Amino acid sequence: MRFEYSNKVIKKVRLKILDKPGYLGSLTTRVGDLGGMFGEIKTIHLGKGYKIREMDIYSDTLDIFDEILDVIRTVEGVDLIGVKDVVEEYHKGGKINVVSSVDVETIDDLKIVYTPGVASICKQIAEKPELAAEYTTIPNNVAIVTNGTAILGLGDIGPVAGMPVMEGKALLFNQLAGINGYPVLIDSHDPEVIIETVKNIAPTFGAIKLEDIKAPECFEIENKLRKELDIPVLHDDQHGTAVVVLSALINIAKYTFLNLNEVTVGYIGLGAAGTGIYKLLKAFGVSTQYGADLDDNARNHFQSLGGIPEDLEGVMQKSRIVIATTGCAGLIKPEMVQQGQVILALSNPNPEIDPEDAVKAGAVFAADGKSVNNALAFPGLFKGALRAHASMINEAMMIAAAKTISGFSLEGDLVPNILDREVHDAVAVAVEQEAYKSGAATVKNSY
């Protein structure tokens, strides 16, 4: 079975190109005429009168890419040597592994890290369980838990098919925050099975990150685990997304002179992301919020949280800021846009309305979901919580993260560079400090 998610196709082509003026330019022009875009370009061999180059080429569909290859074959002075799938190459063998933090080079080393030396550490922890925080990796371990029911825009494809996403989260944890992220795949649609499984494995971890579990089950699972565990439990699709959206709105408010505590906000789509954003903006001080969804249960849940249910037209007419997370491309028509509105059409790969079309229709500011990525939030959010040995990640900690992220954005940008380690370090510091201020921390303040 083939699932369609993103239209973008990324391939690496190897080409032999005559090393004379005009040939490379002719190639790029012909590819551009078909809508192809170039990523990385590098020379891998310099021959007599020619160069062999590898180029990453992006196209909207596989059919268009095939057309691009046909055109390349006709370009004078260019020979097509080979084509590779870049994404498949990166994923072969998986994206993560487990490595040791100490070297074992001699038998004496082995006796220290394993038997018999390790027994003394086990005895100490047995007598004082709190020593596990000092002598094990538990305080730096995060479980990345999914049942595969809401993977990206693919829907319910099962936990194993979602493993590449979980590996990606673990990779980002490691590279951006120095955290050990462990994917945990649970093959069940029953919330109680997921809850019991997580409770049983929780002693291994300092925090639990719920990932790509569909609504409304995700709400029940998170709520029950938060009550029954004494470590942070956070559903990233709700709260990580919410943190990045709030950080973007803080900057939008600065650029457009809006007061976020006074504006009306409307949601189109009340699933995990929409609900999470609503909760955080309410905690931030946004009092009037409207919400539309085709599902009666979603609307009722939204109302039970304090939101005002509306239909699509009502949300568009009554809201100064509109946030759409439906996964339905083109849902918002230009004629629905009000003068001076802010439109965040966050569905990927195709938004509910193209930002340029929204601005042409009268929006003062519009953006899609390409830059609003929850990976800007979760590494620092969890790192700060773990450093404070927090029992939870509360809304005050999330707001501190959002404010910090917004402060790193370049003038005119919504959010900063997602790979800037300084951003994640600063978020961790802000979250840790807020954990102490708000009473979520359980150890002595290190500041």
Q: Which residues are catalytic?
A: 114, 169
Polymer length in residues for the chain: 447
For 49-54, the CB contacts below 8 A with 24+ separation are 49/18, 49/19, 49/20, 50/16, 50/17, 50/18, 50/19, 51/16, 51/17, 51/19, 52/14, 52/15, 52/16, 52/17, 52/81, 53/14, 53/15, 53/17, 53/24, 54/12, 54/13, 54/14, 54/15
Burial label, 26 (beta-carbon count in 10 A; 0-12, 13-18, 19+): middle
Helix (H) or strand (E) holding 31, with range, is helix 23-33
From the CB of residue 45, how many other CB atoms can be counted at a distance below 10 Å? 11
CB 27 within 8 A of CB 78: yes
Phi-psi region of 128 (alpha: psi -120 to 50; beta: other; left: phi over 0): beta
Max intra-chain CA distance, the chain: 77
Cα first-last separation, the chain:
54
Alpha helices (H) along 217-295: 217-228, 236-256, 272-284
Q: Does residue 34 sit in helix, strand or coil?
A: coil
139: tokens are 């305080």
DSSP structure string for 302-316? HHHTT-EE--HHHHH
CB 218 within 8 A of CB 235: yes
Residue entry with tokens 């921390």: 441
Closest CA to 323 of 341, 295, 338, 343: 343
Cα separation, 330 vs 113, whole angstroms: 58
State the DSSP H helix or E strand holding residue 119, giving kind and residue range, or none if neither.
helix 118-127
Q: Return the closest-CA partner of residue 140 out of 434, 394, 404, 428.
A: 428
Residue 420 sits at φ, ψ, to 5 deg, of -80, 105
Q: Quick check: 154 and 5 in contact, CB under 8 A?
A: yes
